[in-house]
């Protein structure tokens, strides 16, 4: 049975019997869009931290330039209107002003270019990586393959949960809207370990898509017949969401990306089980995450009790 046939068989089974499929694994929320959010999502990688810094850095420069130009406009309106200056100057050249308005913009661009090129190099230069995942864009969902030695048979499609599936999942597992976000949650999550350099090979099977994960500072085109590559190293466990960011057809808005970052111990257990059955591996991971949550809650309760009894 070919991988392509297995992939479409898995997709059909997921659509017909979603409630029985244990593919979805809940996890602590780490980064996702918020209502009325204006700024960027919290950084989950060093690259994204640099992206946020560069954004703030350029915003300061743009703000200073805008305020300076505004001040010049106000000064010109007040100082050189017809009433205040009835006899206008006939000056046509000023060497100093012309030198300044040529040199200063060049210096500003140089100041911006240095961190810009450094960040671009950091994004494009793939460091020594510990694992590789291949992401393939389809109309309209993502397919993932773990291509490292021993993991070649681990592959699945990640299809967005409908409102009916979300409602069923929330009722069955007692989850909240934030834990199963609309238009972002998928039936299968990409599972990766924290603090690990992960290379992502990106391609498409039909039209051009784009693999974008805001919290990781990752955005790269998925082009049919071509393999593009990017990388990330997530520093905090949790769920991270992205979306296709290329206009790829009528369901472009409904092919989200869900990446679940877990501890290295949890990933080791998941990857070993996934070699045999991804659904069983996800069930194991869900139980491990639930156990970790219970331990954390118990420790927190114990600490609060000690504080209260002092």
Using one digit for the tens of pLDDT, what is the confidence trace for 18-56? 333 346 666 555 677 778 888 888 899 999 999 999 999
- Could you tell me which of 250, 134, 244 has the C-alpha nearest to residue 184? 244
Contact of 194 with 264, CB cutoff 8 Å: yes
Tell me: pLDDT of 112 over 60.
Answer: yes
Tell me the average pLDDT across 228-241.
94
Report helix, strand and coil shares of the chain as percent, to nearest 5.
45, 20, 35
pLDDT tens-place string over residues 184-225: 999 999 999 999 999 999 999 999 999 999 999 999 999 999
- Return d(Cα 84, Cα 97) in angstroms, integer: 23
Comparison of pLDDT for 277 and 35, the residue scoring more? 277
pLDDT of residue 18: 39
Comma-separated ranges of CATH 2.60.40.420 domains in the chain = 3-30+131-303
Domain 46-124 has CATH 1.10.287: yes
Tell me the β-bridge partners of 135.
144, 202
Comma-separated ranges of CATH 1.10.287 domains in the chain = 46-124
3-state secondary structure of 139: coil
Domain 3-30+131-303 has CATH 2.60.40.2380: no
pLDDT of residue 4: 45
Tell me: pLDDT of 14 over 60.
Answer: no
Contact of 270 with 262, CB cutoff 8 Å: yes
**CA 193 to centroid of chain Cα atoms:** 16
- Return d(Cα 141, Cα 13) in angstroms, integer: 15
- Return d(Cα 130, Cα 138) in angstroms, integer: 26
81: number of Cβ within 10 Å = 10
Contacts 24+ apart (CB under 8 A), 289-298: 289/25, 289/26, 289/27, 289/28, 289/262, 292/266, 293/28
Contact of 158 with 278, CB cutoff 8 Å: no
């Amino acid at each position: 049975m070919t991988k392509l046939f297995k992939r479409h068989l898995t997709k059909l089974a997921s659509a017909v019997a979603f409630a029985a499929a244990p593919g979805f694994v809940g996890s602590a929320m780490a980064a996702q869009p918020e209502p009325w959010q204006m700024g960027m999502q919290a950084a989950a990688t060093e690259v994204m931290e640099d992206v946020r810094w560069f954004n703030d850095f350029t915003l300061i420069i743009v703000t200073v330039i805008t305020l300076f130009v505004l001040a010049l406009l106000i000064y010109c309106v007040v100082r050189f209107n017809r009433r205040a200056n009835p006899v206008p100057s006939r000056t046509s050249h000023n060497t100093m002003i012309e030198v300044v308005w040529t040199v200063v913009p060049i210096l500003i661009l140089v100041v911006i270019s240095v961190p810009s090129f450094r960040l671009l190099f950091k994004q494009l230069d793939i460091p020594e990586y510990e694992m590789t995942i291949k992401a393939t864009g389809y109309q309209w969902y993502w397919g993932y393959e773990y291509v490292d030695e021993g993991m070649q048979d681990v592959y699945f499609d990640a299809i967005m949960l409908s409102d009916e599936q979300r409602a069923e999942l929330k009722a069955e597992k007692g989850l909240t809207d934030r834990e199963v976000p609309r238009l972002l949650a998928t039936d299968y999550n990409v599972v990766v370990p924290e603090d690990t350099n992960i290379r992502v090979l990106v391609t498409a099977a039909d039209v051009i898509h784009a693999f974008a994960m805001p919290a990781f500072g990752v955005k790269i085109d998925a082009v049919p017949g071509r393999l593009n590559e990017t990388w990330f190293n997530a520093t905090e466990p949790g769920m991270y969401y992205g979306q296709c960011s290329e206009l790829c057809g009528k369901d472009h808005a409904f092919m989200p990306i869900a990446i679940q970052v877990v501890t290295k111990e949890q990933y080791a257990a998941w990857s070993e089980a996934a070699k045999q059955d991804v659904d069983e591996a996800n069930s194991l991971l869900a139980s491990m995450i639930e156990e970790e949550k219970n331990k954390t809650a118990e420790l927190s309760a114990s600490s609060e009790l000690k504080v209260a009894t002092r």
